[in-house]
């Protein structure tokens, strides 16, 4: 890409950021259409404009500079923009693919982007949206019988549920191509059983086109489920309550802090499943960097994490070890 196009994309990104924060999808669509007319691909628009814009919105929210309503408005505007771009596609002539996001991941932008790219490339796309339980996904796949599943996972809270979604597809002999920050970090998606890992929408489409003519003969092997996961789920309310009890001066922060402790448990399941403490360590580092901006002082957060580790000592030793390693 030339310096001139880099400059153009930078200017487009600033204009897109302003439009999306304002929820002005019409202006954002004009910008995107202009880029397509000038020769940019959808992958370039997603990678060079929409992804940096979304990252900037997320960073401003994490720093407390942007309210959650503005973050939601920008995300909804990006998704609507991708839907509008998809609507320009010719009638689908290719095979069916299902695009989904695993349970506990509320972020659907990556899935929406790859759904748009597949639609524009001629696939018949069944887009299922965010946070879909594996059992419901399996039922849908069994009825639709697609060529493949495309799974997007952006957050580490969903890694264990993503493994269950992959296993559900594999039980039906369907290959799975995945993408997203959580899968891409240290290629964790491949260790969870993905048959292919795509770093961009274009890569995902290329994998699907390859599978159209030469599908995988052997599907990848996923790790065995964590045996203690059911007990963790059963005891979750008590564990969260114990974490709150161990934090000083919680006050009106109890609900927000409780939600964060529940997410720590979700990430811990992924860390134990992958046998990689860094999964939870990265999440705790992010919490430490952002919690104060959202009204949870560091001392309150640390007290809750310490109490959570102590509560996990009662029969959930691997999870307790993961939390302690992440906090050290």
Q: What does the pLDDT look like over 165-208, one tens digit per residue?
A: 999 999 999 999 999 999 998 999 999 999 999 999 999 999 99
Q: What long-range pairs does 27-33 form, CB within 8 A, spacing at least 24?
A: 28/77, 28/78, 28/81, 29/81, 29/84, 29/85, 32/81, 32/85, 33/85
Closest by CA position to 319, among listed 235, 253, 255, 260: 235
The domain tally of the chain equals 3
CA atoms within 13 A on the CB side of 246: 20
Highest mean pLDDT among 31-35, 157-161, 220-224: 157-161
Q: Which domain holds residue 317?
A: 229-327
Q: Where are the alpha helices (DSSP H) in the chain?
A: 3-21, 25-37, 42-44, 51-62, 68-86, 109-120, 134-144, 159-171, 181-184, 188-191, 201-213, 229-246, 254-274, 278-290, 298-312, 317-327
Considering the domain architecture, whether residues 214 and 97 belong to the same structural domain is answered as yes
Considering the domain architecture, whether residues 104 and 218 belong to the same structural domain is answered as yes
Look at residue 223 and give its three-state secondary structure: coil
Looking up residue 36, the CATH number of its domain turns out to be: 1.10.1240.10
Residue 249 pLDDT grade (very low, low, confident, very high; cuts 50, 70, 90): confident
Residue 88 pLDDT grade (very low, low, confident, very high; cuts 50, 70, 90): low
Q: What does the pLDDT look like over 268-303, one tens digit per residue?
A: 999 999 999 999 999 999 999 988 877 788 889 999
- Could you give the CA distance from residue 201 to residue 9 in angstroms, rounded to a whole number? 18
Looking up residue 210, the CATH number of its domain turns out to be: 3.40.50.280
Neighbours of 9 (CB within 10 A): 20
- Could you give the CA distance from residue 269 to residue 288 in angstroms, rounded to a whole number? 20
Residue 244 pLDDT grade (very low, low, confident, very high; cuts 50, 70, 90): very high
Considering the domain architecture, whether residues 189 and 235 belong to the same structural domain is answered as no
Considering the domain architecture, whether residues 174 and 256 belong to the same structural domain is answered as no
Mean pLDDT of 74-102: 82
């Amino acid at each position: 890409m030339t310096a001139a196009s880099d400059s153009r994309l930078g200017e487009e990104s600033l204009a897109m950021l302003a439009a999306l924060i304002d929820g002005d999808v019409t202006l954002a669509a004009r910008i995107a259409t202009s880029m397509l007319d000038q020769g940019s691909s959808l992958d370039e628009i997603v990678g060079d404009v929409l992804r940096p814009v979304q990252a900037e919105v997320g960073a401003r929210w994490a720093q407390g500079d942007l309210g959650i309503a503005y973050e939601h408005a920008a995300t909804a505007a990006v998704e609507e923009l991708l839907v509008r771009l998809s609507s320009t596609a010719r009638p689908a002539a290719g095979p069916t693919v299902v695009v989904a996001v695993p349970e506990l991941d509320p972020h659907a932008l990556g899935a929406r982007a790859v759904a748009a790219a597949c639609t524009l490339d001629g696939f018949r796309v069944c887009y299922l949206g965010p946070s879909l339980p594996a059992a419901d996904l399996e039922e849908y796949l069994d009825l639709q019988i697609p060529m493949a599943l495309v799974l997007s996972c952006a957050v580490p809270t969903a890694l264990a549920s993503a493994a269950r979604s992959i296993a559900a597809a594999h039980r039906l002999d369907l290959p799975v191509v995945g993408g997203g920050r959580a899968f891409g970090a240290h290629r964790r998606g491949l260790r969870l059983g993905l048959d292919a890992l795509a770093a961009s929408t274009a890569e995902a489409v290329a994998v699907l086109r390859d599978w159209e003519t030469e599908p995988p003969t052997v599907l990848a092997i996923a790790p065995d489920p964590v045996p203690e996961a059911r007990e963790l789920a059963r005891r979750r309310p008590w564990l969260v309550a114990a974490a709150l009890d161990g934090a000083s001066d919680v006050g009106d922060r109890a609900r927000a802090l409780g939600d964060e402790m529940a997410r720590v448990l979700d990430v811990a399941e992924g860390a134990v499943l992958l046998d990689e403490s860094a999964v939870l360590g990265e999440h705790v580092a992010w919490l430490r960097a952002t919690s104060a901006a959202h009204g949870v002082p560091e001392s309150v957060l640390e007290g809750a994490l310490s109490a959570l580790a102590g509560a996990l000592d009662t029969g959930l030793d691997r999870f307790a070890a993961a939390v302690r390693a992440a906090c050290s």
